[in-house]
């Protein structure tokens, strides 16, 4: 079967995330135009909060540029407020869930799913691993149900061990999701995290199979795909085998600069992942 994967590139609007692994920074319209000039059909937005996506402040990128919003990141709730879904304080867990719910609502006008990455939090101290998993399961249920009610999805992103200790590998993640069965929840596979945690990134992607909804395309050192030692041939072969039809979204440091990082990613996408 012919598969068609699509390239995408991140734009961060969060000034507190300075130094983070996002390709373009600030001005969403100007940067989406630059992405479009390289042939990207979509952008992924990292907003400070849901208000930043409101009609009066956020440009209608789909209408103005005919680009899609592939996904919206929720990490602003962690970076700016230190809120997360498995925090020992119930009030903070509620704030984290409210932050993501508001983003789902705001992103729905672009049909954009919302990512749960750093907002998943971690266990430790007074919070056992079982307890944290239970809270994560409840959050994915509730947020997935909300996403279903407005016709969108949640992308759950397993992180590497230095960023979370909840679910690090594809095997653990799929076992958890198969048991919890949250609706309208798909997995975001970030190749940088997988490079740290998987014996084989290709096998990990095969394990995700139908759970896979989004990919963060990046090289082993968090720099643009194609600038490191990641083996894209194997990764592309598995994504074709599992008939992955989603985005490969560049989430990488803007090295040597944003536009060059986007161009390197696009060259890598065209070399390994474009339809042929
Ligand atoms: C952070 O490392 C990351 O990969 C983000 O996509 C998570 O929010
Ligand atoms: Mn990521």
The pLDDT confidence band at residue 170, using thresholds 50, 70 and 90, is very high
CA gap 59, 8 in Å, rounded: 18
Question: What mean pLDDT comes out for the span 99-106?
Answer: 98
Asked, for residue 1, whether it belongs to a domain, the answer is no
Contact 190 CB / ligand 1 (< 6 Å):
yes
Asked, for residue 100, whether it belongs to a domain, the answer is yes
* Exposed / middle / buried, residue 184 (Cβ in 10 Å: 0-12, 13-18, 19+): buried
Contact 68 CB / ligand 1 (< 6 Å):
no
The count of structural domains within the chain is: 1
Q: What is the pLDDT of residues 185-214, one digit of tens each?
A: 999 999 999 999 999 999 999 999 999 999
Asked, for residue 102, whether it belongs to a domain, the answer is yes
Q: Which residues surround ligand 2, an ion (CB under 5 A)?
A: 190, 216, 251
Question: Does pLDDT of 1 surpass 90?
Answer: no
pLDDT, position 275 = 81
Contact 117 CB / ligand 1 (< 6 Å):
yes
Are the C-beta atoms of residues 265 and 7 closer than 8 Å to each other?
Answer: yes
Q: What is the share, in percent, of the chain residues with pLDDT greater than 70?
A: 99
Domain containing 176: what range? 6-272
Q: What is the share, in percent, of the chain residues with pLDDT greater than 90?
A: 98
Asked, for residue 254, whether it belongs to a domain, the answer is yes
> Could you tell me the CATH number of the domain that includes residue 82?
3.20.20.150
| Short-list 6, 29, 46, CA closest to 254 | 46
Contact 197 CB / ligand 1 (< 6 Å):
no
CA–centroid distance, 268 to ligand 2, in Å, is 18
pLDDT, position 2 = 54
Question: Does pLDDT of 249 surpass 80?
Answer: yes
For residue 78, give the ligand 1 atom closest to its CA.
8
Question: Does pLDDT of 179 surpass 50?
Answer: yes
Asked, for residue 242, whether it belongs to a domain, the answer is yes
CA–centroid distance, 111 to ligand 1, in Å, is 21
């Amino acid at each position: 079967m012919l598969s068609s994967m699509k390239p995408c590139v991140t734009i961060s609007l969060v000034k507190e995330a300075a130094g983070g692994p996002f390709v373009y920074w600030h001005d969403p319209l100007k940067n989406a135009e630059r992405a479009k000039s390289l042939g990207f059909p979509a952008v992924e937005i990292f907003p400070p909060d849901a208000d930043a996506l409101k009609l009066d402040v956020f440009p209608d990128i789909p209408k103005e540029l005919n680009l899609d919003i592939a996904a919206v990141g929720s990490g602003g709730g962690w970076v700016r407020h230190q809120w997360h879904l498995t925090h020992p304080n119930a009030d903070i867990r509620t704030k984290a869930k409210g932050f993501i719910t508001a983003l789902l609502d705001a992103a729905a006008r672009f049909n954009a799913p919302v990512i749960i990455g750093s907002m998943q939090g971690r266990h430790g101290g007074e919070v056992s691993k079982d307890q944290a998993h239970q809270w994560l399961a409840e959050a994915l249920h509730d947020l997935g149900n909300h996403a279903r009610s407005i016709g969108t999805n949640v992308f759950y992103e397993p992180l590497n061990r230095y960023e979370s200790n909840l679910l690090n590998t594809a095997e653990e993640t799929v076992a958890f999701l198969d048991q919890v069965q949250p609706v309208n929840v798909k997995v975001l596979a970030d190749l940088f995290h997988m490079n740290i945690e998987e014996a084989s990134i290709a096998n990990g992607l095969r394990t995700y199979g139908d759970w896979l909804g989004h990919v963060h395309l990046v090289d082993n050192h968090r720099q643009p795909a194609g600038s490191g030692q990641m083996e894209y041939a194997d990764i592309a072969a598995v994504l074709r085998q599992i008939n992955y039809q989603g985005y490969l979204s560049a989430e990488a440091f803007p090295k040597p600069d944003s536009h060059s990082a986007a161009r390197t990613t696009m060259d890598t996408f065209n070399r390994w992942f474009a339809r042929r």
